[in-house]
Chain A
Amino acid sequence: MPPETVLAFDTSAAHCAAALLLPDGRCLTRNEAMTKGQAERLMSLLADLLAEAGLGWSALSRIGVGTGPGNFTGIRISVAAARGLAVGLGIPAIGVGRLEAMAHGLPRPLVVAEAARSGEIWVQAFTHTPGELVVLDDAGLRAAYDGWAATGSAAVATGGQLLAPAMPLAEATARIAATRLPGARPAPIYLRPADAAPPSDPPPLILP
Chain B
Amino acid sequence: MDGTLTFLGLESSCDDTAAAVVRAGPEGAVILSSVVAGQDALHAAFGGVVPEIAARAHAERIDLCVEQALEQAGLPLAAMDGIAVTAGPGLIGGVLAAVMCAKGLSAATGLPLVGVNHLAGHALTPRLTDALAFPYLMLLVSGGHCQFLLVEGVDRFRRLGGTIDDAPGEAFDKTAKLLGLPQPGGPAVEAEAAQGDARRFAFPRPLLDRPGCDLSFSGLKTALLRARDAVIAARGGIPVQDRRDLCAGFQAAVADVLAEKSRRALVECPGITGFAVAGGVAANATLRGRLMAVAAAAGVPFLAPPLRLCTDNAAMIAWAGIERFRAGLTDDLALSARPRWPLDSTAPALLGSGKKGAKA
Question: Can you name 17 extra interface pairs (CB under 8 A) apart from A57-B107, A83-B62, A83-B104?
Answer: A47-B107, A73-B96, A77-B100, A80-B59, A80-B98, A80-B104, A81-B104, A85-B107, A86-B63, A86-B104, A88-B107, A194-B50, A203-B177, A204-B232, A205-B236, A205-B238, A207-B235
Least Cβ distance of A35 to chain B in Å? 15
Least Cβ distance of B153 to chain A in Å? 28
Let me know if A89 and B60 touch, CB within 8 A.
no
Q: Which residue of B lies closest to A78 (CB)?
A: B100
Which of B45, B109, B178 lies in contact with A88, CB distance below 8 A? B109
Which of B50, B67, B336 lies in contact with A87, CB distance below 8 A? B67
Instruction: Contacts A40-B334, A207-B235, A207-B239 given; indicate if A88 touches B180 (C-beta within 8 A).
Output: no
Chain B residues near A78 (CB-CB < 8 A): 100
Q: List 5 A-B contacts (CB under 8 A).
A: A88-B77, A88-B105, A188-B56, A194-B50, A207-B238
Let me know if A39 and B59 touch, CB within 8 A.
no
The reply to whether the CB of B159 lies closer than 8 angstroms to some CB of chain A is no
Expressed in whole angstroms, the Cα–Cα distance for A203 and B50 within the complex equals 20
Q: Please list the residues of chain A having a beta carbon within 8 angstroms of any beta carbon in chain B.
A: 39-44, 46-47, 57, 72-73, 76-89, 185, 187-188, 190, 194-199, 203-208
Give B81-104 as 1s and 0s: 1 = Cβ < 8 Å from A's Cβ atoms: 000000000001100111111111
Least Cβ distance of B76 to chain A in Å? 10
Q: Which residue of A lies closest to B333 (CB)?
A: A43
Least Cβ distance of B343 to chain A in Å? 22
The reply to whether the CB of B47 lies closer than 8 angstroms to some CB of chain A is yes
Q: Please list the residues of chain B having a beta carbon within 8 angstroms of any beta carbon in chain A.
A: 45-48, 50, 52-53, 55-56, 58-60, 62-63, 66-67, 77, 92-93, 96-110, 177-180, 228, 232, 235-240, 243, 333-337
Q: For A42, A85, A188, A199, which residue has the most chain B Cβ atoms within 10 angstroms?
A: A85
Expressed in whole angstroms, the Cα–Cα distance for A41 and B332 within the complex equals 11
Let me know if A84 and B103 touch, CB within 8 A.
yes
Instruction: Contacts A88-B105, A185-B60, A205-B237 given; indicate if A39 touches B50 (C-beta within 8 A).
Output: no
Instruction: Contacts A196-B46, A206-B243 given; indicate if A87 touches B66 (C-beta within 8 A).
Output: yes
Expressed in whole angstroms, the Cα–Cα distance for A208 and B237 within the complex equals 10
Chain A residues near B236 (CB-CB < 8 A): 205, 207
Which of A46, A185, A207 lies in contact with B63, CB distance below 8 A? A185
Instruction: Contacts A76-B97, A88-B105 given; indicate if A43 touches B334 (C-beta within 8 A).
Output: yes
Let me know if A199 and B104 touch, CB within 8 A.
no
Instruction: Contacts A84-B104, A187-B60, A205-B237 given; indicate if A72 touches B93 (C-beta within 8 A).
Output: yes
Expressed in whole angstroms, the Cα–Cα distance for A44 and B331 within the complex equals 13
Least Cβ distance of B232 to chain A in Å? 6
Expressed in whole angstroms, the Cα–Cα distance for A86 and B63 within the complex equals 9
Which of B55, B62, B240, B334 lies in contact with A72, CB distance below 8 A? B55
Expressed in whole angstroms, the Cα–Cα distance for A197 and B62 within the complex equals 26
Let me know if A194 and B53 touch, CB within 8 A.
yes
Expressed in whole angstroms, the Cα–Cα distance for A80 and B177 within the complex equals 34
Instruction: Contacts A39-B336, A43-B107 given; indicate if A81 touches B240 (C-beta within 8 A).
Output: no
B interface majority secondary structure: helix
Expressed in whole angstroms, the Cα–Cα distance for A57 and B109 within the complex equals 8
A interface majority secondary structure: helix
Which of A81, A86, A197, A205 lies in contact with B103, CB distance below 8 A? A81
Q: Which residue of A lies closest to B49 (CB)?
A: A196
Let me know if A76 and B239 touch, CB within 8 A.
no
Instruction: Contacts A205-B238, A206-B238, A207-B236 given; indicate if A198 touches B108 (C-beta within 8 A).
Output: no
Least Cβ distance of A60 to chain B in Å? 9
Least Cβ distance of B266 to chain A in Å? 39
Let me know if A44 and B60 touch, CB within 8 A.
no
Least Cβ distance of B169 to chain A in Å? 17
Let me know if A194 and B107 touch, CB within 8 A.
no
Let me know if B96 and A80 touch, CB within 8 A.
yes
Instruction: Contacts A80-B97, A205-B237 given; indicate if A198 touches B46 (C-beta within 8 A).
Output: yes
Chain A residues near B235 (CB-CB < 8 A): 207
Expressed in whole angstroms, the Cα–Cα distance for A43 and B60 within the complex equals 19
Q: Which residue of A lies closest to B113 (CB)?
A: A43
Chain B residues near A204 (CB-CB < 8 A): 178-180, 228, 232, 237-238
Let me know if B238 and A39 touch, CB within 8 A.
no
Q: For A80, A195, A205, which residue has the most chain B Cβ atoms within 10 angstroms?
A: A80
Expressed in whole angstroms, the Cα–Cα distance for A47 and B332 within the complex equals 12
Let me know if B96 and A85 touch, CB within 8 A.
no
Let me know if A203 and B103 touch, CB within 8 A.
no
Least Cβ distance of B39 to chain A in Å? 12
Let me know if B46 and A199 touch, CB within 8 A.
yes
